[in-house]
């Protein structure tokens, strides 16, 4: 559940959110997509292990760990040859899971108070933004399926022209877009990578512990 943890909104002009694990419990969708890729490589790794191994990491880091560092033992030459191959295939699987999941199960992935919380923020004229390590097409697909895209004044997906989390740059760029200072910004994050980026940005940060 999204919780202000005794902080008042009166001191802020903007609220930024991570996506995966913060607004939506979609880490499992990413893990299932990676598992589907690995099964093509004759690697049978559980989704829970994949989720634990790569929690909050951007796709390029995941690719490096699997295909460069070979954190999982390949039995033969891998089919995926480039980072682009990996990211494109993973994104297609993620979008497939998002778009084909039945409504009841999809709603179960969302924070329980998500809509009312976002409505409260907008009623107070706060600017809202999403800052994600996921690719643009996955972020857009998720926000549209959740019917919350209209709440956000800025959407920042994984960047191709700058450093990504754990670097603070994505959050700094979002604040620049929204024309707010770090001291005027509240960030909700869940993963170690995202929390490092958020705290380094100078904003006030609330850690999202779990989904309730």
Q: Is the pTM of this model over 0.75?
A: yes
3-class secondary-structure state, position 38: helix
- Locate tokens 């008042």: which residue? 8
pLDDT at 211: 60
- Locate tokens 């200072």: which residue? 181
pLDDT greater than 80 at residue 1: no
Nearest residue to 193 via CA among 166, 164, 163? 166
| CATH number, domain 9-25+111-207 | 3.40.50.1000
Cβ contact 18:188 at 8 Å: yes
**For the CA atoms of 203, 151, 25, 31, what is the dihedral angle to 10 degrees?**
-90
Q: Tell me the domain boundaries of the chain.
A: 9-25+111-207, 27-104
In this predicted model, what pLDDT tens digit does every residue of 56-98 receive, in sequence order?
788 889 999 999 999 999 988 999 999 999 999 999 999 999 9
Cα separation, 161 vs 13, whole angstroms: 27
Nearest residue to 46 via CA among 35, 37, 56? 35
pLDDT at 3: 86
How many residues are recorded in the chain? 212
């Amino acid at each position: 559940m999204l919780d202000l943890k005794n902080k008042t909104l009166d001191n802020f002009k903007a609220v930024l959110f991570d996506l995966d694990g913060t607004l939506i419990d979609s880490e499992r969708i990413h893990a299932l997509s990676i598992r589907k890729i690995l099964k093509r490589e004759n690697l049978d790794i559980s989704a829970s292990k994949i989720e634990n191994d790569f929690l909050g990491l951007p796709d390029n880091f995941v690719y490096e760990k699997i295909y460069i560092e070979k954190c999982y033992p390949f039995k033969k030459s891998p089919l995926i040859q480039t980072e682009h191959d990996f990211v494109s295939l993973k994104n297609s699987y993620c979008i497939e899971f998002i778009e084909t999941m039945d409504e009841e199960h999809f709603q179960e992935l969302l924070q329980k108070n998500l809509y009312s919380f976002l409505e409260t923020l907008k009623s107070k004229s706060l600017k809202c933004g999403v800052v994600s390590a996921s690719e643009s097409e996955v972020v857009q697909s998720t926000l549209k399926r959740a019917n919350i895209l209209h709440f956000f004044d800025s959407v920042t997906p994984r960047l191709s022209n700058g450093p990504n989390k754990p670097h603070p740059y994505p959050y700094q760029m979002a604040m620049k877009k929204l024309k707010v200072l770090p001291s005027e910004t509240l960030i909700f994050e869940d993963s170690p990578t995202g929390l490092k980026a958020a705290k380094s940005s100078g904003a006030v940060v609330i850690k999202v512990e779990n989904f309730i």
